Structures are given as C-alpha cells and as structure tokens.
C-alpha cells in the first residue's frame, strides 16, 4: 500500500533530504511538490526542489507558492542554509519551468482530482496551506491528514519560544491547527533528538551518488554540533513509514501570533483550556538509532 502525499517545502538542506526519501521510497507516492518562502526566497526554494527532482530524473510537478507570510514580515534562514539554500553540491542548472499555476491552485487541483484522500506534508511555513483552506475550504474533506514539520513543546530554535517554520508564518500555522483536519506535529521535541550522527554522515559520503550529494549538502548545514545534525523535515517521512519508532501524545495545540512568544506552539498538556478536546498528535519521543539506521538504508536502497 502506498501513501499518497503532497510535499509543501522550502529547500533547504533537510527538505532536500526529505524529498530524496519521498521520491525514492516505493511506499510513498509523491504527487506534487509546492514551494514556499522560508529557508530562502521562494524563487530559490523552487529551483532547489527542481534540482532534487532533476537529480533523480523524476517528473513530479512543482508549483511555486507564497513569496511571503500572510501578515508577518519575511525573514530567511540563509545563515544556516547558505545563500542558495542548498550549498555544497554542483547540481545541473538546466531546470524545467514550474507549473503555470500557483501552489494554491495546484494543491486544489491535485487534492480534488485524487481518487483517495491525500496526506499533506508541509516542511516549510504553512502559508500555502492556510491560503488553500481560505480560498478552497472544500479541499478539507479530501485530505487524509497533515504531517507537519514544525513547532515545539519545549524551547524554540528561532526564539526561546518558537520553532522556525511556525515562527516564519504563525498566522498560517494558527489557521492550519484550527482547520479540523487531523495533524501530526513533527516538531523539535523529536527532531532535536534524532540527529544524523557524524558516523552516519561519513558513511553517506562513499555509499553512492545520492549519498555523496546528501553528504555534501548536509556537511554545509550551519546548525551542526558534535552529536550530529538535525534532519528536521526528514522526520515527517520517517514518521509516515515507521510510526512505531515515534511516540505521540494527543493534545490541543494553540499558536501564539504576537508578542515575545510569537510562533510558539502551546500544547495544552493538562487539558486546561479545551475541555479534553485535542487537535493534534504531537511527536514527543523517537528512536534515534532506528532513525539513523533507516536513513542509511533508504539511501543505500536508492542505488544511484
């Protein structure tokens, strides 16, 4: 059984690794890639997504999306992902044009024409998805669930309170968490646990062409430590394929949209505000060794 997904993404080093897994794992059917401003500007994230598709010779359609958040001013993460968003590897530059429609229209068309409900996998800010729900609310009945990288029950990585994707567009995140669609929050609570270790990274280098490409871009990640490098977005794909390796807790997530905690995802762990209602399954624990083992096995299986 394959899982039909759409990735809404802002490559981005870890996005590129997540796309690599989604494009090549036989259990995942990646129907569409939409892009959003985030790690770098949307023209760059679109090109980067296309570079990964071109690298694997896959013709999954790409539609360019929002240039900026709904309300908040745009701030990129080029200090971590480099000026291009995906430095360190010489990708071919002869890229096809993206679809001649917006990300929102492409999302609408793909979701409504699918014969089964689709899983949305946002790995950037949620601006495109929030716009989609506002402009085409009928799509909500045709979405299986949203498995979203972003948020944190603990500390943030942009501010003390906020994780990057939610911080980038907190107003969009609020709309998505209030949409009524089942959401799995794949946040820093697990992505900062499941670091790609230095041993795993060095194994990638000599594995195959894919391993070399991932090694070279991941080595340029500005947010590394001695323990390893967080592969944030890749955890969404790992969750889809190996939910048994991740512990989730159902709770209500509220998104703070102003003030010093802007972009914080507040988990109502004690059920103080929502009468026991929940709107998300929040990932709280992960088998990091299983994540590393799976990551290497996925790349080895690509055989390219």
8-state DSSP, 243: G
Cβ nearer to Ca ion, comparing 149 with 302: 149
Cβ nearer to Ca ion, comparing 84 with 252: 84
DSSP-assigned beta bridge partners for residue 186: 149
Cβ nearer to Ca ion, comparing 123 with 191: 123
- Measured CA to CA, the distance from residue 50 to residue 1 in angstroms comes to 27
Q: How far is the CB of 36 from Ca ion (least distance, A)?
A: 9
Q: How far is the CB of 169 from Ca ion (least distance, A)?
A: 12
- Return the residue of 15, 169, 264, 281 that touches Ca ion, per CB under 5 A: 15
Asked if 56 contacts 25 with a C-beta cutoff of 8 angstroms, the reply is no
Q: In sequence order, which residues have a C-beta less than 8 Å from that of residue 208 and are 6 or more positions away?
A: 299, 300, 302, 303, 304
Q: What φ, ψ does residue 145 adopt, rounded to 5°?
A: -175, 170
Number of neighbouring beta carbons within 10 Å of residue 100: 8
Cβ nearer to Ca ion, comparing 12 with 156: 12
287-17-9 Cα angle (round to 5)? 105
Cβ nearer to Ca ion, comparing 15 with 264: 15
Cβ nearer to Ca ion, comparing 123 with 200: 123
Q: How far is the CB of 269 from Ca ion (least distance, A)?
A: 26
How many chain residues are in contact with Ca ion, going by CB under 5 A? 6
122 binds Ca ion, rule: CB under 5 A: no
Q: If you count DSSP H runs as helices and E runs as strands, how many of each does the chain have, helices first?
A: 12, 13
Task: Tell me the angle at which helices 103-113 and 127-135 cross, rounded to the nearest 10 degrees.
Answer: 60
Catalytic choice (81, 232, 242, 274): 232
Is 142 considered catalytic here?
A: no
Q: How far is the CB of 300 from Ca ion (least distance, A)?
A: 24
DSSP-assigned beta bridge partners for residue 250: 281
- Return the residue of 34, 50, 123, 200 that touches Ca ion, per CB under 5 A: 123
Q: 3-class secondary structure for 60-74?
A: CCEEECCCCCCCCCC
Q: How far is the CB of 4 from Ca ion (least distance, A)?
A: 21
- Return the residue of 3, 4, 6, 12 that touches Ca ion, per CB under 5 A: 12
Q: How far is the CB of 234 from Ca ion (least distance, A)?
A: 10
- Measured CA to CA, the distance from residue 237 to residue 294 in angstroms comes to 11
Asked if 240 contacts 5 with a C-beta cutoff of 8 angstroms, the reply is yes
Longest CA span, the chain: 55
Q: Draw the binding track, 204-233, toward Ca ion (x: CB under 5 A; -: no contact).
A: -----------------------------x
- Measured CA to CA, the distance from residue 129 to residue 140 in angstroms comes to 10
Active site residues: 232
Binding-site ranges for Ca ion (CB under 5 A): 10, 12, 15, 123-124, 233
């Amino acid at each position: 059984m394959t899982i039909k997904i759409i990735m809404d993404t802002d490559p981005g080093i870890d996005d590129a690794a997540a796309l690599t897994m989604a494009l090549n794992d036989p259990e995942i059917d990646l129907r569409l890639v939409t892009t959003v401003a985030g790690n770098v500007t949307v023209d760059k994230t679109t090109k980067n997504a296309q570079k990964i598709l071109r690298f694997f010779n896959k013709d999954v359609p790409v539609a360019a999306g929002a240039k900026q958040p709904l309300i908040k001013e745009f701030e990129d993460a080029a200090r971590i992902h480099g000026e291009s968003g995906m430095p360190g590897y010489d990708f071919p530059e002869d890229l096809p044009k993206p679809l001649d429609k917006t990300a929102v229209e492409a999302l609408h068309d793909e979701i409504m024409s699918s014969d089964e409900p689709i899983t949305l996998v946002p790995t950037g800010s949620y601006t495109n998805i929030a716009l989609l729900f506002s402009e085409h609310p009928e799509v909500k009945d045709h979405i299986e669930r949203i498995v979203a990288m972003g948020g944190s029950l603990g500390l943030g990585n942009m501010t003390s309170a906020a994780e990057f994707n939610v911080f980038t567009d907190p107003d969009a995140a609020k709309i998505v968490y209030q949409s009524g669609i089942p959401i799995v929050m794949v946040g820093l609570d697990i992505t900062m646990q499941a670091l790609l270790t230095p041993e795993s990274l060095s194994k990638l280098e000599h594995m195959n062409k894919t391993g070399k490409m991932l090694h070279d871009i991941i080595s340029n990640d500005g947010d590394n430590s001695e323990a390893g490098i967080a592969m944030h977005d890749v955890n969404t794909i790992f969750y889809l394929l190996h939910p048994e390796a991740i512990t989730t807790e159902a709770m209500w997530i509220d998104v703070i949209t102003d003030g010093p905690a802007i972009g914080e995802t507040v988990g109502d762990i004690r059920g103080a505000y929502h009468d026991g209602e929940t709107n998300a399954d929040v990932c709280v624990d992960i088998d990091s060794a299983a994540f590393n083992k799976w990551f290497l096995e996925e790349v080895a299986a690509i055989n390219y």
